[in-house]
Structure 1
C-alpha cells in the first residue's frame, strides 16, 4: 500500500471539490433549514444507535476523522491529513487545531482513541469489527492519532466517517455506562450544529456551534428537524415549503415522480454512494422453518422482485442478486439466480417435509414490520401475498422504532425486512452481516439472523487482510457463491433513494455521505 497524505490545501487548490461545491466566496451567513426526521429517532448519539434517522440528524452533531467523496476516496474531516505506512500497518492522522466539543472542552487525540478503542468497540456493530484489528492506538500529542494494526486491513482508511466512527467526549463518558449516561440527552459532539431542544413528537432544533473549527462555518443559523409521521403530510410540507429538504424515505416513492418536475425543487439520487443501501427479507435462522436452507431458498423463489420494485418502490430500485451490491467493489454478477417460481418454491417446501395441512396452510410466520414509513407496510403486504401462494401465512406485527430495534437486536423475531449500508467495501459493510464473530445479542445491524458458516468466516477474513485486489475478488466471488446458495437472508433490492430540496439552498449534497453529512457548508442563497 502506498503512502498517502491529503491536506486541506488540496481542496483549496480545487483538487477534490465534490459535486461542484460552491467556494466560500459565494456563501452567505444566516438562515434556517427546515427538514424532516422520519421516524423520530430514539436517541441522537450516533455511537449508540445506527438507525438511519439517528445518523441523518446526528451527522450534524457528531463528526468522524474523514469524509468520503462520490468516488469513495477519503477527504479531510476532523483530520486535516493522514499517512499510511508502506507496510499497511500504521495509520497516522493529524487533527485540525481548535476543535472543541459543544460544551467548550477541547477535542484532542485522546478523545479519538477513547471513542474508537473503548466506546465504539462496545456499542457499534461495524466499528467493533474494524477496530478489533488494531493492535494499539496512541495519542503522542493532542493533534496526532496513530493506529497500529495487527495485520494489514485494506479498507481501514474507509472506517472513519461520521456514521462509522463518530467521536464522543472522553470527559463525559469515561468510567460510565455509556448507554445510560444522563448526558446522552444533551448530545454533545464537535459538529457545526449543536442541540438546542428536542420536543419529542414535534421537532429537534439545532443551532450554530459558534466554536466550530472551520472558518466561517456553519453558514446556516439553525436546522429544524420536524417529526411528521403521516406520509401525506410530509409530502404536503415539501410541496408548500414548510420544509425545504427531504431525504431517504421521507417522501413515499409513489410521490417522487411529481416532485421531480416542481420548478423550485432540486432532485438528485447522489449522496448515497458510500452507503449503497442494500435491502433484504431477514429470517431468523435459529427458528423453524427458517433454520432449513431449503425454506430460505423457497422464499427467494416466492418473491417476484421485479414486481416488488415496480409496485412497491415504483421503479426506484434495482433487483439485488446477492449479498454484495452492484454499486460496491468486488461484486460478482455470475452467481446463482432465483427466478420467480411458485412451483419451485413448493417443491423445496415439500422436500423438507413442510406440506400443506387440511386448510392448505404449511406454516404461520410472524413478520415484524419495520416502522420506517408506509412503504414498509406495503412491503409486508406484498410479502404476505407472495407467501400465501405456497400456503405460508405471514402475520404482520407492528411496532415502533425502539421496539423494532430491541426485538431484532435481541433475536426476538421470526422475520422482518432490513436494509444495511455497504460502505464501499465488503469488509466494512457486508461481512458484518454473515460472520460468526458478529453474532452479538443486543447489537442491531450485526449478524442478527444467526447465520454461521466457518468457510464463509475464513473467506471474509482472508479477503479483508489481502492487499491484492485480484485475490480479494477471487475470495469475494467464492463467498458470494456460498451465501447465495445458503440464503441466510433473502436479498430483494438495491434502493435508489432521492434527495429533494429547495433550490435556494446550496451544497446540500457535497460527498458520498449525502444527507448524513455535517451541513457545515450548506448555505441559503
Structure 2
C-alpha cells in the first residue's frame, strides 16, 4: 500500500476523527501531556474487563480499571490500589491498605466495600479465572473504608499474585450491586478508577480516552489522552507505524512477516518484553463433548498430524516456541518429561484407523468445522495451515469466520467443534492453567473457562492439592503428575508458547515496565 492509498484510508474516518489529534501534541521540551496514538485490533466487544477478558478488552481496559496490585517483570508484587499489604503467619489472612483519595470516574470514592463487592460477588460470577481464585475467600471484612481483610478457606499459594487489573478489576459497587451485571447500562460508559476515562467510542473508528483529573497518584497520568485507532487491515497498520501516525503497537497489530522489516525503523524500538505475566499459550480447542473429539485417540491423531516446527517458521516467522503441554516452559512448575507428539502422519492415520474412521471417497474420514479466531490475518493463515495438515490424514476441516463478539458467544456457549485459543498463564498453574481443565470450571457462557468440557477427577484432585500446598517441591511433584496425565489425554492440542512484538516510539517512556506490559494503566507513560 502506498502513501496515497493510506491517506485515502485515513480519509474515510475524517468526519469521525475531526478534532482528534494524529500525533504527539505538546510543547517542545515538555515531558508532561500529549496525545498517544495507538491501535486496538480487533475492536473489542466491550470495555468492561470484569465482564470480558478478550485481549483487546484487557489492553484498553487496563487504562480504565485497576486492581489491588501490580507486578514487576519477575512477578514480585507492587502497589496498585493498595499501598501496602500483610499476610498472616498461617497464610490464611491477607490485609490490604488502600491509597487515600481514590475516586471512580463518576467522582464517587472507591472504598474497601467496592473491593469486597468486586472480588466476592461480581467477579466470581462473570470472570472465569477469578471464580476459581476468589471463591477461596471464606470471609471479607472492611474494618474501615481504606482497609480490606480477606480470610481464605485454606492456604492458596499464589493468592498474592492474582490481584492484577486483568484478574481483579475493581468496579463501583454503587453502580453494579443488585443489577444484572451484563445488562447494566453503565457498561457502555466503562466507569473505573484508572488514570484514563472514556470520552467517546466511535464504533469502527476509534476509542478516545482522556486523563482522569481525580486520579489519586500525584502528578499522574502524564499523558493528556490516548486514542486507540481501529485499523482492521494489517498493511494499513504497518504503514501507520512507518509514517509515524501511531506511536505504539502491541500483540497482533503488526503481522509476523513484517516484524523483521519494521524492526529497522530508526524512530522505533521493538521488544517482546511485557508479556511475562501472561506467558501466552496457544492451542487448538476441541469440543470434547461431541464425536469424534470425545475420543482421545482422535485428539492424539490431530497432535501427530500437525508439523508445528514448520508452522512456527512458515506462519509465525520463527517467533514462537513449540509447546509440549499445558504449562509454558517460561513459567514455574513446567515438566519437560511428558509424552511427545512429534510430527508423524503414519501415527495419526493409525489412530484414526483404530477408531474405525476409515478413508472414504477422496480419502476423507470425517468433516470438522473450524471456528477461526477473529484476531487478525495471522489466524487466517494458521487456519489454512491446519486445514491442509489435517487434510493429509483424512480430516476435512471446514473453516468458519465470524467477528470478535460472534466468536466469543459461540465459543463460550459450546457452539463449536474446533477453534483456536490463546490463554494466559499468569505465572502460576493455579491461576492460568487449571481453569482450562478442572471440572468445576465447566460453565456455559464464560470465555476462557473449561470450554472444551474435559473432565477427569484425578486431574481435579491434583490441581487442587497443588494450589493449596505451601511446599514448592510438593507443588512441582503434583504439577508434574497432572501435566503427564493431560498430555496423554490431550483435551486440547497445544501448539505454541507465543511471543509478540511491541513497537514503541523512542520518545515514549515507561511503556513496558511491569509484567503485564501494554495492559498496564500507563499512568506514568510519557513522551521524553
Q: TM-score range with shorter-chain normalisation?
A: over 0.9
CA distance in 2, matches of 1:406, 1:370: 12
Partner of 1:508: 511
Deviation at 1:29, TM superposition (A): 1.3
Aligned-residue offset at 1:358: 3.0
> Where in structure 1 are there 5+ consecutive unaligned residues?
1-25
* Partner Cα separation in structure 1 for residue 261 and residue 361 of structure 2: 48
TM-score of the superposition, structure 1-length normalised? 0.95
Gaps of 5+ in 2: 1-28
Q: What is residue 22 of structure 1 aligned with on the other side? A: none
Aligned to 1:285: 288
- Whether 1:446 aligns to 2:444 is no
Q: In 2, distance between residues paired with 1:500 and 1:90?
A: 41
The residue number in structure 2 matching 1:327 is 330
| 2:300 equivalent in structure 1 | 297
Q: Deviations over 1:238-279 (max 9, x none)?
A: 111111100000110001111211110011111000000000
Q: Distance in 1 between matches of 2:192 and 2:514?
A: 21
Deviation at 1:28, TM superposition (A): 2.4
Cα displacement string for residues 327-361 of structure 1 (whole angstroms, at most 9, x for unaligned residues): 11000111111110000000000011111113311
3-state secondary structure, aligned to 1:235: helix
The CA deviation at 1:140 is 1.1
Q: Partners of 2:148 and 2:174 in 1: how far apart?
A: 18
Q: Following superposition of structure 1 onto structure 2, how do residues 31-430 of structure 1 map, counting pairs within 5 Å?
A: 31-430=34-433
* Deviation (angstroms), 1:213: 0.4
The answer to whether the 8 A contact 1:245-1:502 is kept is yes
* Structure 1 residue 463 displacement after superposition: 0.2
- The aligned counterpart of 1:18 is none
SS at match of 1:359: helix
Name 2:21's counterpart in structure 1: none
CA-to-aligned-CA distance 1:289-321 (integer Å, 9 cap, x gap): 111000000011000010110011101100000
Determine the C-alpha separation between the residues in 1 that align with 2:289 and 2:171. Answer: 36
Cα offset for 1:69? 0.8
Counterpart of 2:501 in structure 1 is 498
Cα gap change, 1:481/1:27 in structure 2, threshold over 3 Å: closer, same or farther? farther
Could you tell me which residue of structure 2 aligns to residue 20 of structure 1? Answer: none
> C-alpha separation between the residues in 2 aligned to 1:224 and 1:92?
37
What is the distance in 2 between the residues matched to 1:229 and 1:508?
23
Q: Secondary structure at the match of 1:30?
A: coil
Q: Which moved more, 1:464-473 or 1:260-269?
A: 260-269
SS at match of 2:197: strand
Q: CA deviation at 1:498?
A: 1.2
1:463 aligns with 2:446: no
Q: Aligned partners of 2:30, 2:444: CA distance in 1, in Å?
A: 47
**Partners in 1 of 2:263 and 2:337 — Cα distance?**
35
| Structure 1 Cα separation of the partners of residues 164 and 235 of structure 2 | 33
TM value normalised by structure 2: 0.94
Cα distance in 2 for residues equivalent to 1:45 and 1:165: 12
Cα distance in 2 for residues equivalent to 1:392 and 1:197: 46
Matched, 1:479 2:482: yes
Render the CA deviation track for 1:74-131: whole Å, top value 9, x for unaligned: 1110100000001000000000000000011000000000000110011000001101
CA distance in 1, matches of 2:471, 2:390: 43
Deviation at 1:27, TM superposition (A): 8.3
Q: Contact 1:27 / 1:219 at 8 angstroms: preserved in 2?
A: no
The Cα of 1:369 is off from its aligned counterpart by 0.4
- Partner secondary structure for residue 376 of structure 1: helix
**Cα deviation per residue 1:176-211 (whole Å; 9 max; x = unaligned)?**
111100011110100000000000000000000011
Q: CA separation in 2, counterparts of 1:367 and 1:210? A: 47
Shift, 1:454, TM fit: 0.3
CA distance in 1, matches of 2:173, 2:405: 26
The separation in 2 between residues aligned to 1:358 and 1:208, in whole angstroms, is 63
Q: Deviations over 1:222-251 (max 9, x none)?
A: 000000000101111111111110000011
Inter-partner Cα distance in structure 1 for 2:230 and 2:217: 30
